[in-house]
Structure 1
Amino acid sequence: MKLHLQRDGHRNLIHAYGSQGIVIHGKKHAHGLLVGADWLHSPWGPGHASALQLSHFAEVLARKPDIVLLGTGKHQHFPLELMRALGAADLAVEVMNTGAACRTYNILLAEDRVVIAALLPPEA
């Protein structure tokens, strides 16, 4: 799904997502990724949400965002033990499928929120 034309070339807006991956600045990312307004880490994470561990979020924890959007693939998966560990580390996390996380990330970025999206592949 194509989202919209990026007008601010310095911010990492998500242009599109789908079965082929996630598109940021014209580059398709077929693997999971971490994305914030001014940085991108790709590839990132395991192939499925059930394999996520606290260690996957070390870089996120160091950046101290206001909110983290966890996109868990085609369907929402709620990794309870991971959520407890992230909460104990004072990280606010919202879990949703990857498509919803991509859309929400762009909205929060447009509101100048300090947001990081931790995205597993849309078809994971």
Structure 2
Amino acid sequence: MKLQPDRLDVQAILGYGPGWVGLGHNGVAEKIEHSIVIGSRGEKFDWNCASFDELTAEHFALLATTQPELVIFGSGTRLRFPPPAYLRALMDKRIGLETMDTLAACRTYNILAGEGRQVIAALLIEREGTAD
């Protein structure tokens, strides 16, 4: 069963591995080795946190300013949930949040973006030794 189109018309995650994700859009591929936010409407900006422990409410408030339908939060190499207080800005704007490890978040983002959803992926990219 085919779940995704052969070619996405939106920014897509082409590959991923420990410490990196590969992004592609309009025939341009890029390897990213730091935490990043990407969106199905072309959003792309650095997410200034190198580890889960560095996350703050401000990181999630920044995501709310993009006003997506849904935020996919890739929590790094393993599944970890941010404190509920960090999510207030998203809740106030009635923006959904799904938490999963970063590799699962990459796959989920591609599916939802390919379906035309207004989705943001906030991907925590941890270097070896920064995950607890």
Range into which the TM-score falls when normalised by the shorter chain: 0.7 to 0.9
Moved more, 100-109 or 81-90: 81-90
1:98–1:122 distance in 2 versus 1, CA, 3 Å? farther
Following superposition of structure 1 onto structure 2, how do residues 77-92 of structure 1 map, counting pairs within 5 Å?
77-80=80-83, 81-84=85-88, 86-92=90-96
* TM-score when normalising by structure 1: 0.83
Larger Cα-atom Rg: 2
Name the % identity.
35
- Is 1:13 aligned to residue 17 of structure 2? no
List 4+ stretches of structure 1 deviating above 4 A: none
- Per-residue deviation, residues 15-44 of structure 1 (Å, max 9, x unmatched): 001014010122110000000121211x31
Choose which of 65, 70, 88 in structure 2 pairs with 1:67: 70
Cα distance in 2 between the residues matched to 1:6 and 1:49 = 33
Aligned length, in residue pairs: 119
* TM-score when normalising by structure 2: 0.78
CA contact (8 A) 1:45 1:120 kept: no
Identify the residue that residue 31 of structure 2 maps to in structure 1.
Answer: 28
Structure 1 gap segments, 5+ residues each = none
- 1:52 positional shift: 1.3
